[in-house]
Amino acid sequence: MKRQILIGATMITALSHAAAAETRYGYENVDGHDIFYREAGDPSDPTIVLLHGFPSSSHQYRDLIETLSDEFHLIAPDYPGFGASDFPSADAYSYSFDNFANTIDGFLEQRGQNEYALFIQDYGAPVGMRIATEHPERVQALIVQNGNVYEEGLNPDTWAPIMALWEGGRNAEIEAQIAAQVFSLEGLKWQYTHGTRNPEAILPDNWLLDHQLINREGQHDIQLGLFYDYRNNVAKYPEWQAYLREHQPPALVVWAANDAFFPTPGAEGFKRDLKDVDYNILDTGHFALEEDGALIADKIRVFYAARDIK
């Protein structure tokens, strides 16, 4: 809504937003597994489904959900084994990106979500792109924050140990090296602070929470298995690029330039395949919302208003 503000002797028109709605928390049982989710906003408003990355959970969207809930309906689930969702054994649940997409697709259907934008970041890209190619008619827009679907968007230096697994198969020695680096408290902190303008301003709760969850018994093997399974995402890149070219969802790209894993050539690919791209490169690290959350929220509002997405 618009309101008039008097500053000195000058009357100006400014945009004001209704009070943000409180975040709601719940579980949805999907195929016998309880999927935790955060939700806020009026379901009659445009829906944004927020799909998290590694090693985080819906926790990474905590502030964005509250900020945008005055104007949007937001829902952010945790994948099985992540955040507050069930952590079934590998015998009870197949930990793969195919199955994550099946689970989250089932979650959305059970929640009655049949029209939405997908906010994809890191692991959220392979999960979200599987859903988008399965249900292109449901996807109103893509919000892409270092959610990669292009081979040039993979940094060969940081991906080298994982790519070695793809080439030679799962290897205990290589996996032990990866685990020691990636799952340590310092390694997790680095993922949040590397490339940021002000590392001291990044909330330590992020890596402390991730460290606690990722070091539960059985987690290392599951996460290493997902690293190995990531090769199947790369194999699907041509299919996902074809989806973009055919269906042309409008896209807001808010890409962290200093991401050690997904460099900016991954962002540039969207400009090749899509006609309607609001393209933004941000001077921050992998988890851009930690440092540029307010900026990204504003860009989402402008993006929706310019396209009259309802």
Where in the sequence is the domain holding 170, given as residue range(s)?
Answer: 27-307
Query: Residue 81 falls within a domain, yes or no?
Result: yes
Domain count, the chain: 1
Query: Residue 281 falls within a domain, yes or no?
Result: yes
Query: Residue 17 falls within a domain, yes or no?
Result: no
Query: What pLDDT, on a 0 to 100 scale, did the predictor assign at position 83?
Result: 98
DSSP output for 131-170: HHHH-GGGEEEEEESS---SGGGS-HHHHHHHHHHHHH--
Q: Over 90: is that where the pLDDT of 12 sits?
A: no
Pairing of strands 251-256, 277-282: parallel
Buried b (16+ CB within 10 A) or exposed e, 66-95: bbbbbbbbbbbbbbbbbbbbbbbeeeebeb
Query: Residue 3 falls within a domain, yes or no?
Result: no
Query: Residue 53 falls within a domain, yes or no?
Result: yes
Query: Residue 22 falls within a domain, yes or no?
Result: no
* Options 52, 59, 73, 286, the catalytic residue: 286
Query: Residue 230 falls within a domain, yes or no?
Result: yes
Burial zone of 234 (CB within 10 Å; 0-12 exposed, 13-18 middle, 19+ buried): middle
| Residue 286 annotated among the catalytic residues of the structure | yes
Q: For residue range 125-166, list pLDDT tens digits in order.
A: 999 999 999 999 999 999 999 999 999 999 999 999 999 999
Q: Over 60: is that where the pLDDT of 15 sits?
A: no
CA distances from 6 to 2, 11, 12, 15, 206 (A): 13, 5, 6, 14, 41
| CATH number for the domain harbouring residue 120 | 3.40.50.1820
CA 4 to chain centre: 37
Query: Residue 158 falls within a domain, yes or no?
Result: yes
Q: For residue range 245-277, list pLDDT tens digits in order.
A: 999 999 999 999 999 999 999 999 999 999 999
What band does 19 get if pLDDT is binned at 50, 70 and 90? low
55 three-class SS: coil
Reported pTM:
0.93
